[in-house]
Amino acid sequence: MNFAEKVIAFNGQLEYTGPPLPANIRIMNPYREEEHALQISSTFYRQYYSDNNKRHLILGINPGRFGGGVTGVPFTDPKRLIAECGIGYNGKLTHEPSSVYIYEMINAFGGVKAFYSKLYINSLCPLGFTTIDNKGKEKNYNYYDSKELCTTVTPFMVDNIKKQIALGCYTDTCFCFGTGQNEKFLKKLNEIHGFFNKIVALEHPRFIVQYRSKTRQLYIDKYLQAFADAGIVT
C-alpha cells in the first residue's frame, strides 16, 4: 500500500478499547460518529498522499470538534477543506481558528501539494475528547487536562505513535504542536520509548490565533525555519 492507503487503513481501524475514561469525559471518534468523515478524509489522503514518499511527522494534542472532528483531516475544517484542498463538503461549514493559521502557514510553505508531500499531521492522541460544562454545553477536552485521563489513555497514545511512524514517517525529527504540556508529555514518552532522535516544539496554532494573532507572521516564519533546519524544503 502507498502512504495514502496506509493512513486510510489506520483511520478506519481507530477505536478506543482501553479502560473506561473518567466521569464526564467521552471519546470523540469522527470516523465512527461523522457519517462522511472517513470518506472525506480518504479523498483527501488519496489526493495528496498517493505515493511512497517518507514524511516528517507533526503531532498535535488531540482532534477538536470543528476541524478534524468533522472532516477526519487534522487541523482542517470544512471551509479550508473546500477552499484550500479542493475537496467537496456538503455538511455544516464549521470554523476552527487553528485551521485558518495552519493553511496560512501551508501556503507560505509553498501550498498544499508541496506541504503534504513532505509532512504528515496528526496528534499524540488521534481521537478527541469532549466534556460537558456547567451550562450543559459540550466542549473540547485535552488529554492532559486530567491526570487520570492522561494516565488512562497513555497506552493508546503510545500504540498509535508507533502505528503512525510505521505509515512511513522519518524518526530523525518530529515536530510537536504545543510548547507546554504537549511538548513535555511527548518528550517524556520519547525518553521511555525512543521514538525520535529529536523533537522540535512549535507554538500551538490555537495559541497563536488566540493570543498572538497580530504577530502570526513571526510564527509562520518560525515554523518554516524549523522545517528548513530539518532539511524539509519545497
How does pLDDT run across 33-90, given as a tens digit for each residue? Answer: 988 999 999 999 999 999 999 999 999 999 988 899 999 999 999 999 999 999 999 8
Query: Does pTM top 0.75 for this prediction?
Result: yes
Written as nine digits, the cell of 20 is: 473506561
How does pLDDT run across 91-145, given as a tens digit for each residue? Answer: 889 999 999 999 999 999 999 999 999 999 999 999 999 999 888 899 999 999 9
By 3-state DSSP, what share of the chain in percent is helix, strand and coil, each rounded to 5? Answer: 50, 15, 35
3-state secondary structure of 58: strand
Element (H, E) at 64: none
